[in-house]
Structure 1
């Protein structure tokens, strides 16, 4: 995981601690399903609010042809309805002008504050950054914008900087997102505690998948350890697990590898919104997942007849692959939003490895055929005979000359 800076080190380290159980959980429930703490998958080095905006277009958007990406939709379906994306995180701050018009505040909920709320409080900034990558509206003075700027966000505050978020409250947050009509759910947090499908969290994830919702989750930032291990909820069946890629379309060093990785997306030097005003730069798989969630929102808007599974397949099939199939580092490849939107003439099927080169075959000697006729062969033999005869005559004549010369020299000497 990228190193913390002084102020944020203590803040996010506290998120790892196991603290409170979700409000309303009975002692028996807690005993059966321990409230495993969830980690926020971002570096947490941003400050807010910012006094100035980041004017340039971020690198993760520079590689996209936004006009082509948005040629059909920016997040609204053919009837003009916005795709609904639930952001289950540390809340989404409504004060940032790029997000104020994107939120369905009435559908939001706060699982951290005992008094409840609408999910628009964010004391950490993590959830506001995640939300911006999905649906930040264009704003004068900055080149940053979300991938689906017409989508609607459901703000759900389920975690904070003191580690109050856990697997049980995440389960409740997912249930709330399902009830509020989410079509895409983004979860940028994880635990490496091995949870079963029968856990409360596992059941809630399966409920969301069964409700035809695209569930996107970050893989985690422990890739520097070199160990391949599952993190949850990303590793649950039906969840699109997202790793982080860098500017070279290679796995970011911190991105958690494993056999559950579905795709990778930009997660290094990511620009996004912060509470109050402005934008900042951050790193982590936390910011790769919403990049994919934004793409999922565009696909849902364009293809209302596609299932959530088909949306996932389309994202995987059109990703830029480093190998013929998938691997444990970037899954089926680094997502390509423009390709996913433009190569959509047929309903997608499950991804398969690319065909490799044909297998090599052993070389075979080419058969030789004699095309000489019998007459040609006789003429050739006759030519050989004449040539040999001429050579013999020359040899005999030469020998006779040598013998004659030798006799003449002997007579002179006598």
Structure 2
């Protein structure tokens, strides 16, 4: 399940840019499609790949108009944390997550031993991305990558991915005719782009290949290697539900502010399960304000933001992993009514006119809008929990 144009693009975009052999090559796009592919072939050969692999990959490549349509009309993610998490963390996924952690216990043990990433973390991504491999996407991968590389919106990202697909064909790990995946080129049970598969792909079942579409063992081990690369800290927590006192200074909440666990505990923040990690820095997350669920986000939470930049998806994936690790269901609380799409855009427009940087006026409660809301709440003497309400909009 891709909630923006690519779950891992945030982690790969800059790498894709700098790995291009030269800026001119990285930006070649548009024009006659066959001439464009000929240029890709020459670049692949210059990188040491075989002409045969390039021909095998590119000979049948076509522009996929459905890919361009998806890219031009990316759905915006506007669900609240409670709505989204209740929708995607189903009994089915909890049951199958536990079953898969048991079925592949030895692979998960190996993954944690080598990369430090525990089974629930990988399993939550596996569930949310593809329902444990059941829904991996039906777009031809080479066509998707060739289409997006030829298009001139982000050639610096997708041209290197197309070159990487040629390398996968040369290794025997991608069939240009039959390999399918997400519309933005991600492949397999945990939806990864070709460059990342080449760098972090691991053969978990010992067959000499990395087959993320068919092999759960390959997917698990590869995900572990990739998450470690993103900066995962072995043996540390990532998210913990907490109870917060009503007299807390809400302006101290948010991802841009941290205290040690011990400092939060001294302010009256209490764990709903387990123990607060006293020496670790943590941020207090209030996805729907002070009256909704509350979490301490430890350093490993930042890895989720590398995987996907959506705050709601990220927090849901991290929370789902805690559930798979044994945490109870969160306490929903009784959050204040939020804003609908039109109201959110109205709020963003107002904040922007006041000089706050909320980014695009898109109706999405992103980090810029949250920060602006929190600052305005402070100025108005309202609880500064960064949750926009009709009352805030009225006051403005």
TM-score exceeds 0.5: no
Q: TM-score, normalised by structure 1?
A: 0.26
Looking at secondary structure, tell me which structure has more strand per residue.
1
Looking at secondary structure, tell me which structure has more helix per residue.
2
Answer with 1 or 2: which has the greater Rg.
1
